[in-house]
């Protein structure tokens, strides 16, 4: 994979172990924190930077936590990255290791930092970026979670990129627990059409698991001018959305079914009407994001928006077909979905469902393998007799297989069978290594000279 990862490269240079967990008080991201391109469109296809994904999601402090994934998607140059940077300010302030008493919005004259906004060098790239800092929090008394922020880029402006943008939109919707669909001025029929793929997928997934496949879809309408029709904020947004998603007898059947299916695909659909931010934001070439240049109405709504999406009581943990997933499972889902989208055409909803089932089964395999390896590592700290080791292996293997069997899996029993076989074979493979290790330990205990000889061969 040849990604031109200038952003990541720069980040790598500055990254020092543990630094990304350091929190500065206030709203200024730690120097080392940056936007990391996870999925980039290059040379005609999408490439996933698995190393970057694993670096953040498989981090010791993160991997076993349930995840909240908030993504913002929609057309280019409509203020997505701009608003995400306010989300970042709130997250640093609220979930930082040193919570501060000051206002999360920060000082009036501070330039806005974070995801690159105003176009700039990234204007022509299409892809998905993640903020390198994963925010850790404990909600509902003892649920440990990790919060991940996703930005998307796509131009939506020429025939050749429509497919790419649809993929970016689809991938980010699949991967997030909250998909903020950023729109300008209104919700048009076209905007709803983008959700068609999900509505078909949803129908299939529901037949399969009986659960609603996706979680929260949140229409964020920017530059809302029709306050006589509905007021700014979430309440006005809900009223407006209800009208937009209403199924009417005079609508053509296609419009009716899109609306019905969208509603049945997402467990929650919200809408927020955002005021115009002011002419300095939209027209002043020197505008750097400082609060003093932003209209009061916008800032008031921004407070409401951020609380409604990101305050501890409103955070939504990522689920796949009704099951909560952990940060490390997310790696698997990313891989399966990116490969489902690697073809020339948009995948059929059927293949999306297969990708979901694959990732779900592979996650169950890896959780079971971890049970086996953790226990065996502990047991093998001391030398065991050959029979003793086999007995421990058999017992631990049964436990791991039971864990796999008891997990509710997407795709049904038949689909799972090949993953169960893979699990058994992986365990047997691990066992051979434990056995070898144990034998070496035995020879060290009984004849140190021989053991040294073995090491000499290996190194």
In the complex, least distance from residue 234 CB atom to ligand GDP, rounded to whole angstroms:
16
Cβ 351 vs Cβ 337: under 8 Å: no
Nearest distance, CB of residue 289 and ligand GDP, angstroms? 7
Of 162, 268, 265, residue with least CA distance to 219: 268
Among 79, 106, 127, 347, binds ligand GDP (CB under 6 A): 79
Confirm or reject binding of residue 65 to ligand GDP (CB under 6 A). no
78 binds ligand GDP (CB under 6 A): yes
| Nearer residue to ligand GDP within complex by CB, 8 or 84 | 84
Site residues for ligand GDP, 266-305, by CB under 6 A, read 274, 277, 281-282, 287
Question: Reduced to 3 states, what is the DSSP secondary structure of residue 243?
Answer: helix
Contacts with Mg ion, 74-113, as mask; x by CB under 5 A: ------xx--------------------------------
Rounded Cα distance between 317 and 375, Å, is 29
Taking residues 364 to 403 in sequence order and writing x for each that binds Mg ion by CB under 5 A, - otherwise, the string is ----------------------------------------
Is residue 86 near ligand GDP by the rule CB under 6 A?
no
Closest CB to Mg ion among 155 and 439?
155
Q: Does 41 bind ligand GDP (CB under 6 A)?
A: no
The CB-of-152 to Mg ion minimum distance in angstroms stands at: 8
CA distance to 7, 47, 421, per residue, from 42 (Å): 15, 7, 36
Window 231-270: contact mask with ligand GDP (x via CB under 6 A): ----------------------------------------
Long-range contact pairs involving 366-370 (C-beta distance under 8 Å, separation at least 24) = 366/328, 366/332, 367/403, 367/404, 367/407, 368/400, 368/401, 368/403, 368/404, 368/423, 369/400, 369/423, 369/426, 369/427, 369/430
Indicate the residue among 305 and 338 with the shorter CB distance to ligand GDP.
305
Site membership for ligand GDP, residue 434 (CB under 6 A): no
Q: Choose between 210 and 285: whose C-beta lies nearer to ligand GDP.
A: 285
**Which of ligand GDP, Mg ion, none is residue 78 near (CB under 5 to 8 Å by kind)?**
ligand GDP
77 binds ligand GDP (CB under 6 A): yes
Q: Give the shortest CB-101-to-Mg ion separation in angstroms.
A: 31
| Sign of the CA dihedral with 151 first, then 157, 161, and 163 last | positive
Told to check if 182 binds Mg ion by CB under 5 A, we report: no
| C-alpha to C-alpha distance for 245 and 258, rounded to whole angstroms | 9
If you search the block for the tokens 């300010």, which residue do you land on?
89
Q: Which is nearer to ligand GDP, 305 or 354 (CB)?
A: 305
CA–CA separation, 181 and 164 (whole Å): 17
Estimate the crossing angle of helix 162-175 against helix 196-209, to 10 degrees: 40
Extract the tokens encoding 116. 């690159």
CB-based contact 66:144 (threshold 8 Å) = yes
Please, what is the minimum distance in Å from the beta carbon of residue 46 to ligand GDP?
19
Give the CB-nearest residue to ligand GDP: 79
Partner interacting with residue 118 (select from Mg ion, ligand GDP, none; CB below 5-8 Å by kind): ligand GDP
If the CB atoms of residues 74 and 106 are measured against Mg ion, the closer one turns out to be 74
Confirm or reject binding of residue 117 to ligand GDP (CB under 6 A): yes
Least distance to Mg ion, CB of residue 324, Å = 30
Note the residue count of the chain: 459
**Closest distance to Mg ion from the beta carbon of 118 (Å):** 9
Instruction: Quote the CA–CA distance of 243 and 288 in Å, as a whole number.
Output: 37
d(CA 405, CA 389): 24
DSSP string for residues in 115-140: S--SSGGGTT--EEEEESPPEEEEET
Strand partners, 182: 74, 220
Residues near ligand GDP (CB under 6 A): 76-82, 117-119, 222-223, 274, 277, 281-282, 287
Binding residues (CB under 5 A) for Mg ion: these are 80-81
């Amino acid at each position: 994979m040849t990604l031109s990862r200038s952003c990541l490269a720069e980040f790598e240079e500055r990254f020092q172990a543990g630094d990304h967990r350091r929190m500065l008080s206030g709203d200024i991201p730690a120097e080392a924190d940056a936007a990391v391109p996870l999925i980039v469109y290059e040379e005609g296809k999408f490439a996933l930077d698995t190393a970057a994904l694993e670096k953040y999601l498989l981090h010791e402090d993160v991997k076993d936590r349930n995840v909240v994934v908030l993504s913002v998607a929609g057309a280019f140059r409509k203020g997505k990255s701009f608003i995400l940077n306010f989300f970042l300010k709130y997250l640093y302030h609220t979930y930082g290791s040193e919570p501060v008493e000051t206002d999360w919005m920060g000082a009036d004259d501070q330039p806005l930092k974070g995801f690159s906004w105003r176009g700039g060098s990234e204007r022509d790239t299409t892809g998905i970026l993640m903020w390198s800092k994963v925010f850790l929090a404990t909600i509902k008394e003892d649920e440990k979670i990790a919060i991940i922020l996703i930005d998307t880029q796509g131009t939506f402006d020429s025939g050749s990129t429509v497919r790419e943008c649809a993929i970016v939109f689809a991938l980010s919707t699949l991967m997030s627990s909250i998909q903020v669909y950023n729109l300008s001025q209104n919700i048009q029929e076209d905007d709803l059409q983008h959700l068609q793929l999900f509505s078909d997928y949803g129908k299939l997934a529901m037949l399969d698991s009986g659960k609603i496949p996706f979680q929260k879809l949140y229409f964020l309408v920017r530059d809302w001018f029709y306050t006589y029709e509905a007021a700014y904020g979430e309440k006005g947004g809900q009223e407006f959305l209800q009208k937009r998603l209403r199924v009417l007898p005079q609508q053509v059947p296609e419009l009716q079914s899109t609306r019905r299916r969208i509603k049945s695909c997402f467990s929650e659909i919200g809408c927020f009407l955002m005021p115009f931010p002011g002419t300095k934001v939209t027209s002043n070439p020197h505008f750097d994001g400082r609060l003093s240049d932003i209209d009061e109405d916008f800032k008031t709504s921004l407070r409401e928006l951020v609380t409604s999406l990101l305050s501890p009581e409103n955070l939504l943990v990522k689920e796949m077909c009704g099951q909560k997933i952990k940060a490390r499972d997310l790696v698997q889902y990313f891989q399966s979905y990116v490969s489902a989208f690697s073809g020339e055409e948009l995948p059929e909803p059927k293949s999306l469902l297969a990708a979901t089932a694959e990732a779900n089964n592979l996650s169950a395999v890896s959780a079971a393998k971890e049970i086996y390896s953790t226990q065996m590592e502990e047991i093998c700290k001391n030398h065991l007799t050959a029979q003793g080791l086999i007995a421990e292996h058999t017992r631990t293997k049964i436990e791991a297989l039971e864990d796999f069997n008891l997990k509710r899996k997407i795709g049904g029993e038949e689909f799972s069978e090949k993953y169960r076989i893979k699990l058994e074979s992986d365990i047997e493979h691990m066992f051979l290594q434990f056995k070898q290790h144990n034998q070496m330990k035995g020879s060290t205990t009984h004849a140190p000279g021989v053991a040294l000889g073995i090491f000499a061969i290996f190194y």
